[in-house]
């Protein structure tokens, strides 16, 4: 085989070009099924990567969501005890002081302490309230707990919105303080009217975010193991899937060749 003139002229790196030609030669020798398998394996890899990215393990302090929970919140936190580091003042708590009411943390504690349940059940209910990032997740975590439906409903509706939705919190706080007034206004209209009159409260509409704290060595180690395990599971799932697909295609071809003979 005669070498291309470009190699002799020194314009191209011969080893690199030879490698490209070798890869191209292998690709050209693939049959139709093998080419289809490579395309499907690549597409499936992209799907698995997206799936893995959406479910990548995160530390609790990395979940930034509207919240008033303490910045040192972790699995050892006792939700029924006063937090070691008080939470930053949130929108609803500011309104509670403005209208002479109670903060959302006080309301949640009162709600679960008023029902006949064990401390473990109460702690799990409050933990679900503070750890859940969506109402669906909160409802799912509360459903197996032996608590009255009225308590579960209040935790996942009124108290949840008071904590996460400043507009709802404002309207409900005002309606609680003045039950016979503003019945002709919607929550949005009531919010707009109050903020137009008391512009200094507009800053409170911005939700607070969980403060990030440095992870301890044990937390970093546990998180690294969790991520490595998850990455291994995702890769194994992809590899087993594409291997099964290749074996299935080879088996179909082998059977067809047998019938041909």
Question: Is 61's pLDDT higher than 60?
Answer: no
Structural domain for 169, as ranges: 66-205
- Is position 44 within any domain? yes
User: Does residue 210 form part of some domain?
Assistant: no
**Per residue in 96-112, pLDDT tens?**
555 455 566 667 777 77
- Nearest-CA neighbor of 211 among 76, 92, 86, 127? 86
Each residue's pLDDT tens digit, 195-233: 777 666 665 554 443 344 556 677 677 778 888 888 999
Residue 62 has pLDDT above 70, yes or no: no
219 within domain boundaries: yes
Shared domain for 90 and 191, answered yes or no, is yes
pLDDT for the residue 105 = 66
Tens of pLDDT, residues 223-258: 788 888 889 999 999 999 999 988 888 888 888 887
Residues 100 and 55 in one domain: no
**120 inside domain:** yes
Higher model confidence: residue 32 or residue 248? 248
The verdict on 144 and 89 lying in the same domain is yes
Average pLDDT score over the chain: 69
Task: Please report how many Cα atoms fall inside a 13 Å half-sphere around the Cα of residue 156, on the Cβ side.
Answer: 20
Q: How many domains does the chain have?
A: 3
* Residue 19 lies inside a defined structural domain of this protein: yes
- Packed helices 149-156 and 135-142: angle between N→C axes, nearest 10 degrees: 160
The answer to pTM > 0.85 is no
Q: Please, are residues 95 and 177 in contact by the beta-carbon 8 Å criterion?
A: no
At 6, is the pLDDT very low, low, confident or very high (cuts 50, 70, 90)? low
Averaged pLDDT for residues 7-11: 50
Residue 50 and residue 153 share a domain: no
Same domain, 197 and 83: yes
């Amino acid at each position: 085989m005669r070498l291309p003139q470009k190699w002799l002229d020194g314009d191209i790196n011969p080893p690199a070009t030879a490698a490209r030609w070798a890869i191209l030669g292998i690709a050209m020798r693939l049959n139709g099924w093998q080419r289809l398998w490579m395309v499907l394996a690549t597409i499936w890899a992209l799907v698995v990567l997206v799936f893995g990215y959406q479910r990548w393990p995160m530390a609790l302090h990395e979940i930034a969501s509207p919240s008033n929970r303490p910045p040192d919140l972790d699995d050892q936190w006792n939700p029924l005890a006063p937090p070691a580091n008080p939470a930053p003042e949130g929108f609803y708590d500011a309104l509670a002081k403005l209208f002479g009411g109670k903060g959302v943390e006080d309301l949640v504690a009162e709600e679960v302490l008023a029902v006949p349940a064990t401390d473990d059940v109460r702690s799990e209910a409050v933990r679900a309230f503070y750890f859940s990032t969506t109402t669906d997740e909160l409802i799912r975590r509360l459903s197996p707990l032996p608590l009255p439906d009225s308590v579960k409903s209040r935790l996942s509706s009124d108290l949840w919105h008071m904590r996460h939705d400043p507009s709802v919190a404002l309207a409900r706080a005002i309606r609680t303080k003045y039950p016979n007034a503003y019945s002709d206004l919607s929550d949005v209209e009531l919010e707009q009217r109050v903020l137009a009159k008391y512009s200094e409260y507009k800053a409170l509409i911005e939700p607070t975010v969980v403060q990030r704290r440095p992870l301890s060595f044990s937390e970093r180690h546990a998180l690294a193991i969790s991520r490595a395990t998850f990455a291994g599971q995702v890769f194994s799932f992809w590899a087993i899937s594409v291997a099964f697909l290749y074996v299935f295609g080879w088996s179909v071809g082998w059977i067809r060749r047998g019938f041909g003979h």
